[in-house]
Amino acid sequence: MNQTVDAAVHEHVHRDDVGAKIGMWLFLFTELILFGGMFLVYAVYRFTYRDFFALASKELDVFIGLINTLVLLTSSLTMAMSITALRRGSKNLSLTFIFLTIFFALLFLVNKYFEWSAKFHHGLFPGSNELLTLPRGEIVYFGLYYVMTGLHALHVIIGLIILVFMFFYVKSGKVNQDYYIMLENSGLYWHLVDIIWIFLFPLFYLIH
């Protein structure tokens, strides 16, 4: 009798996990459509203002962009390792890797804050008098830069909030070795954030 009940509960949990994972993939697909549309707009303007885009990109700090790229790549690794650790029953190790992922997310945002602050200090922000004196191609470049990297930063913030919840869920045992689909879905979202930046970095920082 008990075995029958356990089997039924396991089957129910398995179906819930499959449904949650499918739902997450559908959500990620809508995110790809959103950014895909922006990449298409970027491609059109890049073709139209090729020389101006190359000139404007020199205003960006490639070193900071590279550091942020390495930070996000490392954070994806720690995120994956946190899931693996939890599946193997190493709760404390999983918490450590989640904490590291949160740290890298904060580091990315801090770097982005200083980068944007430098641009604002030099008057290179939408609507500024300095930016409006530049050729239209450069104005378009910085408009796309702020919109696309700003939207990506918003996703990083959302991911950071999710990771904080995951840390406490794992710590409390709500997410555990037997039920880790929430952590897996959080990992999928974070990998998406990483992948989007991998495209943004060369498009805005390396085109010159």
| CATH code for the domain of 189 | 1.20.120.80
- What are 28-66's pLDDT values in tens digits? 999 999 999 999 999 999 999 999 999 999 999 999 999
- What are 134-163's pLDDT values in tens digits? 999 999 999 999 999 999 999 999 999 999
The set of residues, in sequence order, having a beta carbon less than 8 Å from that of 156 and lying 6+ positions away, is 105, 108, 109, 193
What average pLDDT does the structure give for the chain?
A: 91
> Which H/E stretch holds residue 30?
helix 2-48
- Cα of first residue to Cα of last residue in the chain, in angstroms, is 70
Specify the pLDDT at position 16. 64
Which pair of tokens denotes residue 83?
């899931």
Q: Sorting pLDDT into bands at 50, 70 and 90, what band is 192?
A: very high
From the list 61, 43, 69, 35, the residue with the least C-alpha distance to 140 is 43
* C-alpha to C-alpha distance for 137 and 127, rounded to whole angstroms: 15
- pLDDT of 14 above 70: no
Q: Sorting pLDDT into bands at 50, 70 and 90, what band is 188?
A: very high
Overall pTM > 0.75: yes
- pLDDT of 172 above 80: yes
Q: Sorting pLDDT into bands at 50, 70 and 90, what band is 1?
A: low
* C-alpha to C-alpha distance for 23 and 199, rounded to whole angstroms: 25
Domain span including residue 149: 2-205
Specify the pLDDT at position 10. 46
Scanning the chain, the segments in alpha helix (DSSP H) are 2-48, 50-57, 62-87, 91-121, 129-132, 136-172, 181-205
How many domains does the structure of the chain reveal? 1
What single letter denotes the amino acid at residue 41? V
